[in-house]
Amino acid sequence: MAITLICPDKDPNPWIKALKALDPDLDIRIWPDDTPREDVELALTWAHPKGVLKAYPGLRCISSMGAGVDHLLSDPDLPRDVPLVRLKDKELVKDMAEFLLLSVLFYFRQFDLYQQAQSEGKWMPMPPLEKKDLPVGIMGMGQLGATAADSLKTSGFSVAGWKRTPASDGTIDLYIGDGQLQAFLARTRILICLLPLTDQTRDILNRDCFDRLPKGALLINAARGGHLNEKDLIDALDQGQLSGAILDVFKTEPLPAGHPFWSHPKIRITPHVSSQTKPSSVAPQVLENLRRLRQGLPLLNPVSLDNGY
Ligand code: NDP
Ligand code: OXD
C-alpha cells in the first residue's frame, strides 16, 4: 500500500525526507507518475490539478498539506465519499502568531509612516500611539486565530475575536455569527482575517465591511485572497476609510506583475509566507492518520464538508 504526494507547485523532497525519517519503508509516489493507482490509500495534496484525485480507486483519505482545504473543496471532481483531513500544528500556529504580532507592531510603532518619511528624506518624530487606541479584531478564532489573539493580548493589545459558533472558554471577547459582525467591526481598529475560505466567507473583506470599521482602520489578511474584494480595498485606501493593509495572500498567486497592489503606497505585501508548513513538524500526524486508517480508527483533524472547513 502507498501514499501519493500531489503538489505540483511544491518541492516534494522535504516531505519525502520527513516521512521516510519516520518510516523508511513507506511507499511514496509523486504525482505525476505511471505507477499503479489502485494501491494508493492516502493522498497528501496541495493545489492538486482538479480531477486527478478521482483516478485513485483505492483512496481512503485525502490530506491537505496545510491548514486550509479550500484548494481541495473547490475541485468539482473531489471524491466526496473519501474522508478529508487537514493539518493542525504547533509550529504553524506559532509562526502565524509571530507574523501577526510583527504586523500589528509595525502599525503600532508607526513604521508605515516612518518608511514614508524616509522615502521623502524627512526627520519626522511622532508622538507614540497607545495600545488602547488600536483595538485588534480577529475574524476566525480557530487554531491560528485563538493563539494569535492570546499573543496579542499578552503584548497589551485589546483583542476580540469573531467566529461562527458560540464558545464559553478562553479569555478573549468573542462576537458570534453574522448578528454580531457589525458590533465586532465597530470596535476594531486593526482587522485581521484568519477565516477559512468558504461560500459564507468569500469576499467578506468588502466595502460594507470596511465602511463599518472606524475611519482610518488597518487590514491584515493572512487567510486567503478570495476573502478580499480587491477593488473595494483600493477604493477604501484611496478614500482614507482604511489607512493601510498588509496582505500575505492573493486571489491569484503569485501576484501578477503590474497588479495595482504591488505599487500601492499603503499596501505591504508578503508572498503567502505568514505561516509555512514544515514537513518535519507535520509528518508524525500524517503517519498517525495512515496508522489510524489501517486500524479503522477515527482520523485526526477531520474536515466537515458541510461547513467547508
Ligand atoms: P480553523 O478551521 O481552525 O478555524 C476557522 C475559524 O473561522 C473558526 O473559529 C470558525 O468558527 C471561523 N469561521 C469559519 N466560518 C465562519 C463564518 N462563516 N463566520 C464566522 N466565523 C467563521 O482554521 P485555521 O485557524 O487552521 O486556519 C484558518 C485559515 O488560515 C485557513 O483556512 C487558511 O485559509 C489560512 N491559512 C493561511 C496561511 C498563510 O500562510 N497565509 C497558513 C495557514 C492557514 P468556529 O470556531 O465557530 O467554527
Ligand atoms: C495553509 C497555508 O493553509 O499555508 O496551510 O495557506
Distances (CA, A) of 291 to 4, 110, 298: 15, 50, 10
Mean pLDDT (the chain) is 97
Catalytic annotation present for 272: yes
201 burial via Cβ count (<10 Å: 0-12, 13-18, 19+): buried
How far is it, in rounded angstroms, from Cα 57 to Cα 40? 8
Give the percent of the chain with pLDDT over 90: 99
> Closest ligand to 282 CA?
2
Instruction: Take residue 55 and report the three cell numbers written for it.
Output: 483516478
Q: What's the pLDDT tens digit per position in 264-304?
A: 999 999 999 999 999 999 999 999 999 999 999 999 999 99
Which pLDDT does position 169 carry in this prediction?
Answer: 80
How far is it, in rounded angstroms, from Cα 290 to Cα 300? 10
- Of the residues 29, 48, 224, 268, only one is catalytic, namely 224
Which pLDDT does position 168 carry in this prediction?
Answer: 80
Q: What's the pLDDT tens digit per position in 152-203?
A: 999 999 999 999 999 888 899 999 999 999 999 999 999 999 999 999 999 9
Q: CB of 66 closer than 6 A to ligand 2?
A: yes
Mean pLDDT score, 89-111 = 98
Q: How far is the CA of 195 from the centre of ligand 1 (A)?
A: 4
Walk across the sheet containing 242-247 and list its strands.
173-176, 159-163, 136-139, 190-193, 217-221, 242-247, 267-269
> Closest ligand to 274 CA?
1
Residue 98 reports pLDDT greater than 90? yes
